[in-house]
Structure 1
Amino acid sequence: MQPVHLFLVGGVMLSCSQDSSLDWGASGSLPLLRRETAPFFGELKSIPGHQCLRDRTHFRCPWKKGPITQVKLKEATSCYSQVLRLSLDLFGTETSRDAWSERALGRLLHSLSRELKVLDRTREQDQSCPLPFALAICTYFLGIFHYLKVKTHKPCAWEIIRVEMQGALSTFPLSGRRSPRKRRSSLQTTLLS
């Protein structure tokens, strides 16, 4: 029982450490927050997806294919804050408030803003999003906003966007993912010190 107690205390001490690097912050907190955000997209669902099949379109998510796949993961992580800000702009519009329940939308916005705060707190100040990556992200979101405008913000258009953004945010590449072995050895070192 005592070794388990030491392991848990060591884990708590390690996660509360003030000298967390960008890698530990990004790989430790953001994926966890992203997993917490995912169900909030599901809460927004108001129309069965099969009713909106004719409204589907390909938005060309840049980090699934294209120039962003060429960027180093550390640089990609520096761009995630731009993606979160644009997502907050998208879901924070008046028309999105009309499309979904206030409670479900509020929970999603709160979760996205928590991710942004964690990222801003752990991000190194000298890192910036590389220009080609930043432009690809802006182009992607402009396409989404244009799609909504053309579809006059109809419920099916919002359902298509909900599904698109749920997939896009969950697959954004983040740097510094530590293998379980590295985390375990880091924890053991902390416990032995």
Structure 2
Amino acid sequence: MTSRCILQTALLVYFSTTVLAVNYDLLRFQLSSSSVECQNLLLQLNGTTKDCIKDRMNFKFPEEIEKPQQVQKEALLLVTLDIFQKTSDIFRKNLSSTGWNEIIVNNLLEKIHWQIEHLEEILEKIKEEENFTWDDRTLLPLKRYYLRIVRYLKAKVYSICAWKIVRAEMLRSFFFLDKFTNYLPN
């Protein structure tokens, strides 16, 4: 009787840890899908940058993010979360001058918000399971990048051309995010 109870307990512990473990394959798929959906929504926002050549700027996307194989695997999710959070912050700024379809912008923000909540839950699980502490130095170049974008928008007084340039830059960051997800741990 006791051995049967021990076996059941052992199986319960085994299956519960398997269920609680982060499924990186599923997460990789979800992040890639979200990134592509966000890119598609950004593309639906009207406006090309051809007529805004004088407003172009190189925001200097962090090299560390362009080369995800150089980022610690544990920090990949934190970087991914930060990209979604900062993009959301930017698109919550003064959009009145853009003339963009509010439904598309709201769909973009909803998609980003869902992904942020999902990633925060996963990161909490990882912190608990793996007793891992995050090193914020990985995020510093990314924070500076988004700060440059926000300062640019303010300096250009949220003009339509500034928003078109920022929209193109956000497309670029989602492209790197999509590439980034391939380097999540197995």
What is the TM-score with the length of structure 1 in the denominator? Answer: 0.72
In structure 1, the partner of 2:38 is 37
CA RMSD for the aligned pairs? 2.3
Distance verdict in 2 for CA 1:166–1:81, change over 3 Å: same
CA deviation after TM superposition for structure 1 residue 21, in Å: 1.6
**Structure with max Cα Rg:** 2
State the alpha-carbon separation in 1 of the partners of residues 133 and 142 from structure 2. 14
Matched, 1:118 2:118: yes
**Structure 1, residues 90-128: CA drift from partner, whole Å, max 9, x if none?**
1012x1244222111101101111221222232222555
CA deviation after TM superposition for structure 1 residue 20, in Å: 4.9
- Map 1:1-193 to 2 at 5 A: 18-45=19-46, 47-62=47-62, 63-64=65-66, 70-93=70-93, 95-99=94-98, 100-123=100-123, 124-125=126-127, 126-127=131-132, 129-172=134-177, 173-174=180-181, 175-176=183-184
Q: Is the Cα contact below 8 Å between 1:84 and 1:116 reproduced in 2? A: yes
2:95 maps to a residue whose letter is S
Q: Is the Cα contact below 8 Å between 1:84 and 1:112 reproduced in 2? A: yes
CA deviation after TM superposition for structure 1 residue 51, in Å: 0.5
CA deviation after TM superposition for structure 1 residue 144, in Å: 0.3
Larger mean Cα displacement after TM superposition, 30-39 or 20-29 = 20-29
2:28 maps to a residue whose letter is S
State the alpha-carbon separation in 2 of the partners of residues 137 and 74 from structure 1. 16
Distance verdict in 2 for CA 1:176–1:64, change over 3 Å: closer
State the alpha-carbon separation in 2 of the partners of residues 139 and 87 from structure 1. 13
What is the TM-score with the length of structure 2 in the denominator? Answer: 0.74
Q: What secondary structure sits across from 1:132 in the alignment?
A: helix
1:176 maps to a residue whose letter is L
CA deviation after TM superposition for structure 1 residue 31, in Å: 0.9
State the alpha-carbon separation in 2 of the partners of residues 25 and 116 from structure 1. 16
Q: Is the Cα contact below 8 Å between 1:23 and 1:177 reproduced in 2? A: yes
Give 5+ residue unaligned stretches, structure 2. Answer: 1-17
Distance verdict in 2 for CA 1:170–1:18, change over 3 Å: farther
Give 5+ residue unaligned stretches, structure 1. Answer: 1-16, 179-193
